[in-house]
Amino acid sequence: MNLRVRATLSMIGALLLLPALTGTARATSAGAVVEASRTTVYLVPGKLLEVPVKAWHLRYRSTSATGRPNVVSGTLLVPGTPYPLGKRPIAGYAVGTHGMGDQCAPSAAMAGGTEAELAIMSLMLLKGWAVAVTDYEGLGTPGDHTYMAGLSQGRAVLDSIRAAARVPGANLSAAAPVVVMGYSQGGSSAAWAAQLQPSYAPELRLKGVAAGGVPADLRAVADHLDGTGDFGLAAAAGIGLDAAYPELHLDGYLTPEGATLFGDARDDCVGDLRAKLGGRRLAEFTTADVLNLPDWRARLAENRLGASAPRVPLFLYHATGDEIIPYEVGTTLRKEYCAQGANVLWTGLPAGSHVLGAVEGGPPAVAWLATRVAGLPAIPNC
C-alpha cells in the first residue's frame, strides 16, 4: 500500500480512537495523564523474574514535532521502599532504537521481559529514584513512530516526567529533583529534552542530563550509514521524519521497490530493519536526491542538536570505535555546546562498538547523575 495512503488511514484511525484514548480525562495540558494502569515488569522472558517495583503503563499528553497535541505511551517504575532523603527523584529514561512497530515499544518489552536497558534503569531504581520511560510518539499509540524527530522525542521525555508526578498512587511530587538519561536514539532524546526544557517545561527541577552515543547531526549519520549493514536505521529515520512532517512526501520519491521495502519497514523492530535493508543505499530506492531537497534540508537542520545550549549540566559520552554514530558527530556537539557556555563533562570511551559504548558508559553516567541529585558541583572539561 502507498505510504501516504497508509499514513492517512493511520491518522483517521487515531482520530476515531481519540475518545477512547482520552476516556474521562479532559485535561489538555502536556504531561496530563490520560490513563494509568498497573502493570508488571520482567527482567527475562517467560515471566520468570519480576522486577520488584510498582509499575504503571501510561498514556499521557505531549506535543508533536510540529507543535500539535498528541498522546504518548510509556511506563513508570517506582521502588517499593520509602525514599529517606526528601522528595523521591524522577529520572526520565530515553531508550535507544527499538524499531517502528507498536510491538517494539519499551513498554511491551518490559512487560515481556525482553528490555535490555532495564539493566541501566535498575541502577537508578536501586538509588530509590522513580524512572519514567517514554515509548515516544507513535510507538505504542495510533499513528506512525516519528523516529529521530528530535523535537517530538525531547517533549515526550519531558512530558513523561510531568505525567509521572501526576499518577495516582505513585506518591511522586511535581517539585521532585529530575534527571534525564539516554543513549543512541535515547541520547538524542535526552539532549533534546535538555535543550527544550527551559522553554517547554521550565517548572521541572532538572538537575542534569546524561546523553551517550548522540546522533546529533542526522544528515551526517545518514551519509555514514549509507551502504552499511545498518542502513536500515537511516531508512527508519527517513520514515520517521516523513511521519513527523507531512510536507516531506517521502512516498513521492520512492521507486516501486523502495515503496515496498519502506512500507514494510514501518512496523519492523530493529533486528528486521537491519536484516531487510542492510548493505543498501538510499539512491537505490529513490528517484531524487531526497536529503538535498529544500523541505528535507530544512527539517534535517531543525532536528540538528547544538543550536542552543542547555542550562543544566551535561554528561556526554561516546565510544571511540562507534560504527553507527561517528565519534566526530559526538565531539562536534561537545564543541558547539561548550562554545555557547554549557557545562559539559565529556568522556570518550575506549569501547570498540556502539553497543559496548552503552554498556561502558551507563554506570558512570548514572553515578554522575547521582552527584547532580545530591547537589554537588558539576565540573566541566570544555
Distance between CA atoms of residues 115 and 228, nearest Å: 26
User: Is 356 a residue whose pLDDT tops 70?
Assistant: yes
Predicted structure pTM score: 0.91
**CB of 270 within 8 A of CB of 104?**
yes
Q: Which amino acid is at 131?
A: V
Distance between CA atoms of residues 44 and 221, nearest Å: 32
The set of cell numbers assigned to 140 is 505504542
**CB of 97 within 8 A of CB of 184?**
yes
Per-residue model confidence (pLDDT) at position 28: 61
Here the CATH number for the domain that contains residue 333 is 3.40.50.1820
Per-residue model confidence (pLDDT) at position 48: 84
Per-residue model confidence (pLDDT) at position 88: 98
Q: In what order do the strands lie in the sheet with 90-94?
A: 33-39, 53-63, 69-79, 130-134, 90-94, 177-183, 205-212, 314-319, 344-349
pLDDT digits (tens, 9 = 90+) for 149-166: 999 999 999 999 999 999
> Is 119 part of a structural domain of the chain?
yes
Q: Is 350 left (phi over 0), alpha (psi -120 to 50) or beta?
A: alpha
What whole-number percentage of the chain has pLDDT above 90?
A: 92
User: Is 213 a residue whose pLDDT tops 90?
Assistant: yes
For range 269-279, the mean pLDDT: 96
For range 256-267, the mean pLDDT: 96
User: Is 27 a residue whose pLDDT tops 60?
Assistant: no
> Is 28 part of a structural domain of the chain?
yes
> Is 105 part of a structural domain of the chain?
yes
Question: Which DSSP helix (H) or strand (E) runs through 71?
Answer: strand 69-79
The SS3 of residue 117 is coil
pLDDT digits (tens, 9 = 90+) for 292-315: 999 999 999 999 999 999 999 999
Per-residue model confidence (pLDDT) at position 47: 83
CA 326 to mean position of chain CA atoms: 19
> Is 122 part of a structural domain of the chain?
yes
> Is 86 part of a structural domain of the chain?
yes
> Is 363 part of a structural domain of the chain?
yes
Q: For residue 174, what are the domain limits?
A: 3-217+302-373
pLDDT digits (tens, 9 = 90+) for 306-352: 999 999 999 999 999 999 999 999 999 999 999 999 999 999 999 99
> Is 234 part of a structural domain of the chain?
no
Question: Which DSSP helix (H) or strand (E) runs through 333?
Answer: helix 327-339
For range 89-118, the mean pLDDT: 97
How many domains, in total, are found in the chain? 1
Per-residue model confidence (pLDDT) at position 274: 96
DSSP 353: S
Per-residue model confidence (pLDDT) at position 15: 31
Per-residue model confidence (pLDDT) at position 219: 97
User: Is 24 a residue whose pLDDT tops 80?
Assistant: no
For range 366-376, the mean pLDDT: 98
Average pLDDT, the chain: 93
User: Is 173 a residue whose pLDDT tops 80?
Assistant: yes
User: Is 9 a residue whose pLDDT tops 90?
Assistant: no
Query: How many CB atoms are closer than 10 A to CB 43?
Result: 16
> Is 112 part of a structural domain of the chain?
yes
For range 170-175, the mean pLDDT: 97
For range 71-89, the mean pLDDT: 96
The SS3 of residue 138 is coil
